Chains A and B, each alone.
Chain A
Amino acid sequence: QQQVKQSPQSLIVQKGGISIINCAYENTAFDYFPWYQQFPGKGPALLIAIRPDVSEKKEGRFTISFNKSAKQFSLHIMDSQPGDSATYFCAARGISETSGSRLTFGEGTQLTVNP
């Protein structure tokens, strides 16, 4: 059962444009929502993260928008650059006393920014 659904699967944007990736989750017990960026041949690296008590978080050109009632969150990349071309994963974390902290990932979005 996929608890975090991510779209689109692939995205092509022109340099300077806005890239938008969306995620939806089902488990209301999730308490932390990170985005990871992965370049070919590398491991995923934390890009930006948000907790459900805020609706938006911005770091440079990257912004997370969070809608708790709709159980959706999205990543916006402003002024997209060719160096942003990578695969992006959204994730959600659930914590329990018995199973600890676990991240559930979306399927990933392959972003290509054309020069």
Chain B
Amino acid sequence: NAGVTQTPKFRVLKTGQSMTLLCAQDMNHEYMYWYRQDPGMGLRLIHYSVGEGTTAKGEVPDGYNVSRLKKQNFLLGLESAAPSQTSVYFCASSSVAGPAFFGQGTRLTVV
């Protein structure tokens, strides 16, 4: 029972490079989320999805794009990475009225 799986776990990017973070869940959840975690700021919602083929902006969407082509997968893209995007990224999923389950995180450093 894998739950929510994120890949990769660690990544170092140079400023201006692009990358995609992959999130996969095996709980048949409708909702999926991408958060970033920075010291002293809790978890801030970047983008989320309420179902396959739908996405919406969260609190801090600038510089990120997402796609949900399949119900079980939610991709987070950085088109042109900036040092301000150095953070730990968490994916989560939930049923419509249930609790959110989180992945193990991706630690991204942009130099």
Q: Which residues of A contact B (CB under 8 A)?
A: 6, 9, 32, 34, 36, 41-46, 49, 89, 95, 99-108
Contact B90 A102 (CB under 8 A): no
Given contacts A101-B94, A101-B97, contact A42 B105 (CB under 8 A): yes
Given A49-B99, A100-B31, check contact A9 B42 (CB 8 Å). no
Chain A contact residues: helix, strand, loop or mixed: strand
Query: Is the CB–CB distance between A108 and B42 below 8 Å?
Result: yes
B43 touches A44 (CB 8 A): yes
Which residues of B are at the interface with A, using a C-beta cutoff of 8 A? 4, 30-31, 33, 35, 40-45, 48, 50, 56, 58, 90, 92, 94, 96-97, 99-105
In angstroms, how far is the closest chain B Cβ from the Cβ of A59? 13
Contacts of A104 in B (CB 8 A): 45
* CA A89 to CA B102, docked complex, whole Å: 13
Chain B residue at minimal CB-CB distance from A97: B50
CB < 8 Å neighbour of B42 from A41, A49, A99, A105: A105
| Bound complex: CA A96 to CA B16 (Å) | 36
* A108 CB, min distance to chain B CBs, angstroms: 5
Cα–Cα, bound, A111→B43 (Å): 17
CA distance A100 to B100 in the complex (A): 13
Given A46-B100, A49-B99, residue A100 in contact with residue B50 (CB < 8 A): yes
**How far does the Cβ of A97 sit from chain B's closest Cβ, in whole Å?**
10
With CB as the reference atom, state the residue of chain A lying closest to B43.
A105
Q: A99-B50, A101-B31 are in contact. Are A89 and B103 (CB under 8 A)?
A: no
Closest to B3 in A: A43
16 additional A-B residue pairs with CB within 8 Å, beyond A95-B97, A101-B96, A103-B92: A6-B42, A9-B40, A41-B104, A41-B105, A43-B4, A43-B90, A43-B102, A43-B104, A46-B100, A49-B99, A100-B50, A100-B96, A101-B31, A101-B94, A104-B45, A107-B42
